[in-house]
A and B are shown apart, each in its own frame.
Chain A
Amino acid sequence: MKENKNTRVVVGMSGGVDSSVAALLLKEQGYDVVGIFMKNWDDTDEFGVCTATEDFDDVVRVCNQLDIPYYSVNFEKQYWDKVFTYFLDEYKAGRTPNPDVMCNKEIKFKAFLDHALSLGADYLATGHYAQVARDENGSIQMLRGADDNKDQTYFLNQLSSDVLEKVMFPLGHLPKPEVRKIAADYGLVTAAKKDSTGICFIGERNFKTFLSEYLPAQPGKMMTLDGIEKGNHDGLMYYTIGQRQGLGIGGSGDPWFVVGKNLEDNYLYVAQGYHNDYLYSDSLVATDINWVQPDQIEETFTCTAKFRYRQKDSEVTVTVKDDKAYVAFKESQRAITPGQAVVFYQGDICLGGGTIDEIIKDNKALQYVG
């Protein structure tokens, strides 16, 4: 093993408190730390102002506080090609994509990792709440972040052990409040900076307005599954399965929810009641399957799964066949959304995950979902 001072760790720094503290902890452990800011999106306005400028400025100030070198790298083109194009394609297909999963897979832990390695880095570190550990055979596994509320393995499900071999998550064992406290105790300029929310390239802007700049909206009819017209929708891409807000259907009785999309006729299907039967399913098929430790996955096994970020785990039985995972739920699930990730866990170990492709109920794929 190299000594820490001879081990170069490139930290992906966003200008937020998490990556700032990640860099701080590594520096305190004596590593040869290099901070790198990654610019993936250009949101420069008419006055030449862009959020990246301010974020980079915070990176500069933190790195100077820590006395570590800092650089930046531009992946706008790669991000557009690999993440944003996928994002738009999924919406066009009536699904709800997860660009963060794709960004981790294609940009942060691929293009950015390669860049870090080209700078002579031994490891790439990020401020993600996840942990890397070795199992008894010495093989690398990924564990949930210790802070249950912040665990980000859901977004990291596409990473494999050979990538994780070169990755450090210095915050994985810490609860978020502790991270803030470390930042404050050290006087980091980002200590009180607000956490970023939402999809990074949309930021605080209105999602609908943003999407309409890239995809033509095609308004259509809102229907019940029995074919009763309930009003108009603004474009199928603006809605997600299980959504209640923004439908504008009044009247008596239970509230209305989105239960399906008919791309062919451009209908948005709606039904009444949070627990409406149409929102429930008993299994799903996932594609783009990644296993962190592929050699340890059996053909059929039981484990727990998350179908969206921050959801509680549910028990499932997974059958792996032809690059797909067939996932049967122990208890029926509400509002499973195609395009989102399904991520599998064995206790605290994140096994991997995939993209939700088909949703099944009573052995039949739900026609208007997915």
Chain B
Amino acid sequence: MEAIYLDHAATSPMARGVAEAMIPVYEEIIGNASSVHSFGRKARQQLDASRQALAASIGANEKELIFTSGGTEADNMALTGVAEANRNKGNHIITSIQEHHAALHTAEKLEKQGFRVTYLPVDEKGLVSTQDVEAALTDDTILVSIMYVNNETGVIQPISEIGELLKEHQAYFHTDAVQAYGLLDIDVHAQNIDLLTATAHKIGGPKGIGFLYANEKVAMSPIQFGGEQERKRRPGTENIPAAVGFELASNIVMETKAARNQQYEKYKQILIDTFTESGIDFGINGDPEKTVSTIINVRFPGANVEALLANFDLSGVAASSGSACTAGSVEPSHVLSAMFGSESPVTTNSIRFSFGLANTEENVKEAAERIAGIVKRLTS
């Protein structure tokens, strides 16, 4: 039985050519980019070329791009770094309750350190409202961090609107764009985004590298200490092969954005049509009009995630639910709890399917049939 991967929002396979492009970097670029010799210079040259390409992909300049180990580190750096460096300007941070834990837990840590944090709610469609951001803003606010696309529901947040709102305010605007990067058009300067998180492994690049874009005007303290790499903002010897892989994966997704979005929308429709035809009871979580093409979050009334996910896996379909796993058990999703209330059955009967390079119309159709069969068995 063919195993079918519908969990690209967790991590994606490497795009064709990416691994191949990294191998010569591992083998030939042996220097440390900070070294003052020819080996070092060659490494630095390669690193900066990747940095330039990645910065250009979001309309930033290369000085504004900090390589990190991935999205988590970039979120941690954005929140902690900005909070610490701007305490003289204020003590208030605004974020939302549906953020990725990389941001959410950092906000909670800052709260313990004495910052005041406002966690904005989301509506039943999975959206943060710009009016809520506006209402929460005070003269004391130094940072607003709202994710671009929610990782569980795929719902696209009103980032440009919030950017516009914050234009005249001292607060910096950070967005975790891990699930948006490579699918949506992003121009950080036009959208007035001050900080932005992206990671390579969600777009067909290698695991272990991401970036934080931080506008030149942003005051930010480092969160790690060591050498003076990344303009003293992120120490540690640079991972040049990964940067090259990230650059190539980024080039590919930027060039194929429109075609891929179209393809993934088709996959989504196959899933919906197959479920509908099978007669199973299901519903879609999050505003379908404002969701990225790659993610669909489906509730199956009468079923339960633990049984669904294990059954899917045993019949070769890989999907996921919630974002937190404690001792392997799936805790009710904090995102769906935010949308529907923590007592709602939706928090324990919903599954996220996410499309990407490992999918074809055929295997999505096949997976949808297996899923429908399992749901039918479990709910009848």
Contact = CB atoms under 8 A, between A and B. Distances in A.
Chains A and B form a bound pair: yes
Interface of A: 34, 36-37, 39, 44, 50, 52-53, 55-56, 59-60, 69-74, 115, 118-120
Given A74-B306, A115-B306, A120 B330 contact: no
Interface of B: 306-307, 309-311, 313-314, 326-331, 378
A53 B326 contact: yes
Contacts of A118: 307, 311, 378
A72 B307 CA distance: 10
A119 B311 contact: yes
B258 to A, nearest CB: 38
A136 to B, nearest CB: 37
Contacts of B329: 37, 39, 72-74
A102 to B, nearest CB: 21
Nearest to A119: B310
A119 B330 contact: no
Nearest to A52: B327
A340 to B, nearest CB: 31
B328 A60 contact: yes
Given A71-B309, A115-B306, A56 B327 contact: yes
Given A71-B306, A72-B306, A56 B328 contact: yes
Contacts of B330: 72, 74
A17 B328 CA distance: 19
Contacts of B378: 118
A184 B343 CA distance: 45
Contacts of B314: 34, 69, 119-120
A120 B370 CA distance: 14
B348 to A, nearest CB: 9
A243 B314 CA distance: 51
Contacts of B306: 71-74, 115
11 contacts: A37-B327, A44-B326, A52-B327, A53-B327, A70-B328, A71-B306, A71-B328, A72-B328, A74-B306, A119-B314, A120-B311
Given A52-B327, A72-B306, 19 more contacts: A34-B310, A37-B328, A37-B329, A39-B327, A44-B326, A53-B326, A56-B328, A60-B328, A69-B313, A70-B328, A71-B313, A71-B328, A72-B329, A72-B330, A74-B330, A118-B307, A119-B307, A119-B310, A119-B311
Contacts of B327: 37, 39, 50, 52-53, 55-56, 72
B189 to A, nearest CB: 39
Contacts of A71: 306, 309-310, 313, 328
Contacts of A50: 326-327
A354 to B, nearest CB: 33
Best-surrounded residue of B306, B328, B378 (most CB of chain A within 10 A): B328
Best-surrounded residue of B306, B307, B309, B327 (most CB of chain A within 10 A): B327
Contact of B307 (A39, A56, A115): A115
Nearest to A36: B310
A137 B16 CA distance: 64
10 tightest CB-CB pairs across the interface, nearest first? Answer: A72-B328, A52-B327, A74-B329, A56-B327, A71-B310, A72-B329, A56-B328, A53-B327, A73-B306, A118-B307
A70 B325 CA distance: 14
A213 B275 CA distance: 48
Nearest to B307: A118
A73 B325 CA distance: 11
A55 B327 CA distance: 8
Contacts of B307: 115, 118-119
Best-surrounded residue of A37, A56, A118 (most CB of chain B within 10 A): A118
A52 B327 CA distance: 6
A44 B329 CA distance: 14
A39 B326 CA distance: 10
Contacts of A115: 306-307
B363 to A, nearest CB: 20
B214 to A, nearest CB: 29
A115 B331 CA distance: 17
Nearest to A121: B314
Contacts of A70: 328
A36 B307 CA distance: 11
A34 B328 CA distance: 15
Nearest to B378: A118
Nearest to B308: A118
A70 to B, nearest CB: 8
Nearest to B311: A119
A53 B309 CA distance: 20
B343 to A, nearest CB: 12
Contacts of A119: 307, 310-311, 314
Contacts of B328: 37, 39, 56, 59-60, 70-72
A72 B330 CA distance: 8
Contacts of B331: 74
A112 to B, nearest CB: 11
Contacts of B313: 69, 71
Contacts of B326: 39, 44, 50, 52-53
Nearest to A59: B328
Contacts of A36: 310
Contacts of B309: 71
A16 to B, nearest CB: 15
A34 B307 CA distance: 13
A111 B327 CA distance: 19
A221 B23 CA distance: 79
Nearest to A10: B310
Nearest to A51: B327
Contacts of A44: 326
